[in-house]
Structure 1
Amino acid sequence: MTTAALEPTTLDISGTPRIPLSRLVLVELRKLADTRAGKWLLITIGVITALIIGVFFLTAKTSDRTFLNFVGVTATPQGFLLPVLGILLVTQEWTQRTALVSFTLVPVRSRVMVAKVLAALVAGLAAIALALGIAAVATLLGGADNAWAQIGADDIGKFALLQASGVLQGLAFGLLFLNSAAAIVTYFVLPTAFSIVAGLWKPLEEAAPWVDLGTSQQPLFSGTDLSTDQWLHLATGTLIWVVLPFALGLLRVLRAEVK
């Protein structure tokens, strides 16, 4: 007696459209608020931005309550917190063990990484918009003469470039280490230690504008236009401290075994 072998059935999904990139970006933004750390970090960014502007409003002279000054005081606190946001956007996938799910639903890992980059930029722009909005309200209430005269679109662009660079650098360090604690500690310690060494060692001090991102970003805080050399300094500093770690981290993620 013989039995007929059944043909295995297969499901043809070749015609199924892949998940749109816009949806992936929304998912990555949702992940920022899904964890306790991410949620409280977002709240902290909003509260500290409003608080620092409020403190400056109460302590500054009326003549100093300009839009430029209100925006300027938010640069440092946001500059510390936005990179951490970029780090958590990557590392929470590995510490919460959701990377396997993400890369199963979206097998092309590079698309997930693109979505994370865009989500980080969107979050950074939202923080910048919050700072500009609160600063505008404070300026209207401040009563300073010519409160809007000292700032232009180029100054806002410099502020946005500075914050975007920070969040992308955090994202790069997150990709490189895939561990929140290691990435955060290295992000804050390594550039600081490098700046200290550059200040103590003469040859490195002379090269600092080219190799130290903090030094090359200093002209962004000024109200003057950047020269060609200053733009080149910024480009090389960004290449060393943002692009290179990002490339190495991306290579690691694309090749890493997901468990």
Structure 2
Amino acid sequence: MTHAQTIEPAHTRPAPTGRPGVPFGRQLRAELRKLTDTRAGKWLLIAIFAATPLVVAGVLLIADPKNLTYGQLVNYTQSPERILLPIIGILTVTSEWSQRTGLITFTLEPNRRRVLVAKLSATLVVGAMVILVGFGSAAIGNLLGIALRNGAGSWAFGVAGYRDIAVVLIVGLLQGLAYGMALLATAVAVVFFYVVPNLSNLLFSSVSGLKDLAPWLDLDNAQAPLYLHQVSGRQWLEFLTASLIWVVLPGVIGVVRVLRTEVKSS
């Protein structure tokens, strides 16, 4: 009589259904590095950081001493930042498609939402650095104005001044990011960013019947009170409405497009 030996099946661990994503800190550092790895991004940042002190130096040379105040210098330093900073937002997104690196990025991190959050965070970090450089350059310029040209040297600016300038610059940066996501092509996004809002401003300024609607529908008009640092509740509402049209709406369209666009290797 033989006895059959029964072998119990081994209990195997279920195969993992997914893999852990790239740690967010590492992903953020990668996105920050991308902003300086490309020739365009590197020279753009150099241009921004160089233009701000150059503007301060120019103001110190030609401005009337009574106009050499901290507030005036901030107004001058934010001008090149307002023009160039949005391009950083555009390049943050479009470089993935224009340089064909999107396939690598989305292979290493398939969750595109996490990639977009990292890009947004990297853009805001760089934007905050640029804004701080602007405020710091204005402070140094004010001290030099007092010492070298007997400038007025007023430091009156206030929390509202910092808030309003920072809001204008950050909104411009986010607008560039939104257009970059929506269009996914650097040249097209840059042209669209600078041409279309200017056409809108021209339309609302030249057509008398639309002037009352301009603060609600045109972002440049809505931002104007922020430069005076005396913004009423109604003006904040106008600014919010215009920002929804020119920043949030393109941003939503851009997010949908990034999440659904097929990434090609060639």
Q: What whole-Å deviation, never above 9, does each CA across 1:206-245 have from its counterpart, x for those lacking one?
A: 2110000000000111032x11110000000100000000
Q: What whole-Å deviation, never above 9, does each CA across 1:108-148 have from its counterpart, x for those lacking one?
A: 10111111111111111110111111111111121134521
CA contact (8 A) 2:77 2:138 kept: no
User: What is the SS of the residue equivalent to 1:18?
Assistant: coil
Match for 1:207 among 197, 205, 213? 213
Q: What whole-Å deviation, never above 9, does each CA across 1:47-90 have from its counterpart, x for those lacking one?
A: 11111111001111222211111111022211110011110111
Normalising by structure 1, we get a TM-score of: 0.91
| Structure 1 residues 101 and 63: CA distance shift in structure 2, 3 A | same
Residue of structure 2 equivalent to 1:147: 154
- For structure 1, list consecutive stretches of 5 or more residues without a partner in the other structure: 1-9
Residue of structure 1 equivalent to 2:9: none
- C-alpha separation between the residues in 2 aligned to 1:204 and 1:39? 41
Moved over 3 A (4+): 10-17
Q: Quote how far apart the aligned CAs of 1:13 are.
A: 5.5
- Aligned pairs, how many? 249
Residue of structure 2 equivalent to 1:72: 75
User: What is the SS of the residue equivalent to 1:140?
Assistant: helix
User: What is the SS of the residue equivalent to 2:212?
Assistant: helix
Pairs within 5 Å for 1:107-256: 107-143=110-146, 144-145=151-152, 147-148=154-155, 150-224=156-230, 226-256=231-261
Match for 2:101 among 87, 98, 103? 98
Q: What amino acid is the match of 2:251? A: F
Name the % identity: 44
User: What is the SS of the residue equivalent to 1:38?
Assistant: helix
Residue of structure 2 equivalent to 1:6: none
Which structure has the larger Rg over C-alpha atoms? 2
User: What is the SS of the residue equivalent to 1:206?
Assistant: coil
Normalising by structure 2, we get a TM-score of: 0.89
| Structure 1 residues 235 and 88: CA distance shift in structure 2, 3 A | same
- C-alpha separation between the residues in 2 aligned to 1:232 and 1:209? 10
